[in-house]
Amino acid sequence: MHHFDEPVYMISIVAKILDIHPQTLRQYERENLITPSRSDGRIRLYSQRDIEKIKTILRLTRELGVNLAGVDVVMRLKDKMELMEEELSQLRQEVARMRNSTGVPPEKALVTKRSIYEMVIFEDDLLK
């Protein structure tokens, strides 16, 4: 079994798997929608991740009627969302870690400033 990101499939195999023409894959590469790896002999090699990305492109174009420029926008937004979700997950872990730390609980972390009042007491003798 190959790793998800390991480039092992040649263009002809990917074309057969996805039932598309190899020229379609070359077009996607020219449009910078996919970037297959290259062997030492400059043969395109695709990973399982590449195939999944191509499936997404095909779904967008065939089922939703999105053109390749629109696919590019959708894919970039999808990548940004995944990065933001990863960042949000990290922030949530950080918040949880801080809540579970042995420091002062957040509800008691406020420092209040107390006022000091001076009191002057007069004796009756001075007032007479």
Give the DSSP letter string of 58-85: HIIIIIS---HHHHHHHHHHHHHHHHHH
Question: Which pLDDT does position 48 carry in this prediction?
Answer: 95
In this predicted structure, the answer to whether residue 23 has a pLDDT above a threshold of 80 is yes
Report yes or no on 122 lying in a domain.
Answer: no
What is the percentage of the chain residues whose pLDDT exceeds 70?
80
* 86 found inside a domain: yes
Determine, yes or no, domain membership for 70: yes
Answer positive or negative: Cα dihedral of 63, 66, 68, 72: negative
Which is higher by pLDDT, 101 or 13? Answer: 13
pLDDT at residue 101, as a whole number: 78
pLDDT at 126 > cutoff 60: no
Give a yes or no: residue 106 inside a domain.
Answer: no
Closest CA to 52 of 18, 95, 92, 77: 18
For residue 109, is it within any domain?
A: no
Q: Tell whether 113 is covered by a domain.
A: no
Assess if residue 112 is contained within a domain: no
Query: Residue 37 pairs with which residues in a beta bridge?
Result: 45
Structural domain total, the chain? 1
Distance CA 28, CA 14 (A): 13
Expressed as residue numbers, the domain containing 36 is: 9-101
Tell me what the mean pLDDT of segment 9-34 comes to: 96
Judge whether 124 lies within some domain. Answer: no
For residues 52-79, average pLDDT: 97
- The predicted-structure confidence for 67-122, as pLDDT tens digits, reads as follows 999 999 999 999 999 999 999 999 999 998 888 876 666 566 666 566 677 766 66
Compute the distance between CA of residue 48 and CA of residue 45 in angstroms, rounded to an integer. 10
CATH number for the domain harbouring residue 87: 1.10.1660.10
